[in-house]
Amino acid sequence: MTRPYHLLAIETSCDETSVAVVRNGGEVLSNVVSSQIDTHRRFGGVVPEIASRKHVESVTVILEEAVAKAGVSLGDIDAVAVTQGPGLVGALLVGVVAAKSLSLALDVPLIGTHHIAGHIYANRLVGEIEYPALALVVSGGHTELVLLASEGRFQIIGRTRDDAVGEAYDKVARALSLPYPGGPHIDRLAQEAREEIELPRAWLEPDCYDFSFSGLKSAVLAEINRANMKGEPIRAAALARGFQESVIDVVTAKAMKAAAEYGVRQLLLCGGVAANRGLRERLSALCAEAALPLLVPPLSLCTDNAAMIAAAADLKWRRGEFGTLDLKAEPQLSLEDWSVSH
């Protein structure tokens, strides 16, 4: 019988310090996440220098906790994976240095991993992925449609031209005087709203799978300014509903159209904004109507975490595609270039 293998993964791309131990690519033994949200909330967004310092303070403690919770020893670790990019360069560096040090000390392979590949393969931790598949990536810094013709091969067929969905949510929330991060608050208000302020949809060119949310954000600000100039109360819930409906209409319509055009067998929802209730419900209904299987990770695997990094790193582990100790943090790392070799 083949001995089980254990990947230890480190994620420090933004404002979560996370370490996980995953057995055989799919069994999560531990997934410890330390969030910095409370630290950054008073600034209304992530401050890169503060994020880096917090990672330095936390990473060793989180690593020890993850190994203890997994019920394994460091001697059981077969490889160390780390988010190499994209992300904040200072934050990435903390994880990369920690991973290289551990890899060297344990004399095990090092696997540099792509953050968005992690979000996509978080779905592998909840079910089998059937190829070809289409991933709708919606997070704080990314909004993309990614075609997976086969395992570990990524082709971006649509991306945002300006703000990512998560950034748009945070900016609209700030304009409505809602706390950071804005996504959950906008989602809650939208669900509670009894009326909707109709806002524009940015479809862009015909047959285009790119996204744009800057005009929608400007439309929200214009509505707030109009109310202020007239001395009227700002209808926050109605605005949140209109904003969320516009976002959901565009991203789900483009995802379903691409799924049909490319003949995929499965749709994957990925990224922090995948926790949005309105988006989940709409996409579930559309996929059921189209008889298209939908995979969505649980909320704990939607936001940044190290278990998803281990799931993506497993693609490279099984193919023996390892990094070296001169591995560098790459804030603009290309997803397509990170694809596995065949």
274 close to 302: Cβ distance less than 8 angstroms: yes
Residues 137 and 97 in one domain: no
**Domain that residue 92 falls in:** 6-121+301-338
In a domain, 54, yes or no: yes
CB neighbourhood size of 326 (10 A): 6
Residues 151 and 14 in one domain: no
The ranges of the chain with pLDDT < 70 are: 1, 342
In a domain, 271, yes or no: yes
Residues 100 and 137 in one domain: no
Global pTM reads 0.94
* Sheet of 79-85, strand order: 27-35, 16-23, 6-11, 79-85, 110-114
In a domain, 63, yes or no: yes
- Strands 133-138 and 110-114 turn out to be unpaired
In a domain, 1, yes or no: no
In a domain, 245, yes or no: yes
Question: How many Å apart are CA 54 and CA 77, to the nearest integer?
Answer: 26
Residues 180 and 256 in one domain: yes
Query: What pLDDT, on a 0 to 100 scale, did the predictor assign at position 321?
Result: 97
Q: What's the DSSP call for residue 72?
A: -
In a domain, 64, yes or no: yes
Residues 142 and 214 in one domain: yes
* Sheet of 294-295, strand order: 154-159, 143-148, 133-138, 266-270, 294-295
Query: What pLDDT, on a 0 to 100 scale, did the predictor assign at position 334?
Result: 97
pLDDT in tens, 30-58: 999 998 877 888 777 788 788 899 999 99
Question: How many Å apart are CA 36 and CA 39, to the nearest integer?
Answer: 5
Residues 190 and 58 in one domain: no
In a domain, 25, yes or no: yes
Specify the long-range contacts of residues 200-207, CB closer than 8 Å, at least 24 apart.
200/246, 201/246, 201/249, 201/250, 202/250, 203/250, 204/161
Please report, for the domain that includes residue 13, its CATH number.
Answer: 3.30.420.40
In a domain, 66, yes or no: yes
Residues 262 and 144 in one domain: yes
The beta strand positions in the chain, using DSSP E, are 6-11, 16-23, 27-35, 79-85, 110-114, 133-138, 143-148, 154-159, 266-270, 294-295
**Using alpha carbons only, what angle is made at residue 144 by residues 141 and 149, rounded to the nearest 5 degrees?**
140
Query: How many distinct structural domains can be found in the chain?
Result: 2
Residues 148 and 197 in one domain: yes
Query: What pLDDT, on a 0 to 100 scale, did the predictor assign at position 51?
Result: 86
Residues 65 and 179 in one domain: no
Residues 101 and 134 in one domain: no
Residues 164 and 279 in one domain: yes
Which residues make beta-bridge pairs with 211? 160
Query: What pLDDT, on a 0 to 100 scale, did the predictor assign at position 71?
Result: 97
CB neighbourhood size of 37 (10 A): 13
Residues 97 and 238 in one domain: no
Question: How many Å apart are CA 297 and CA 314, to the nearest integer?
Answer: 17
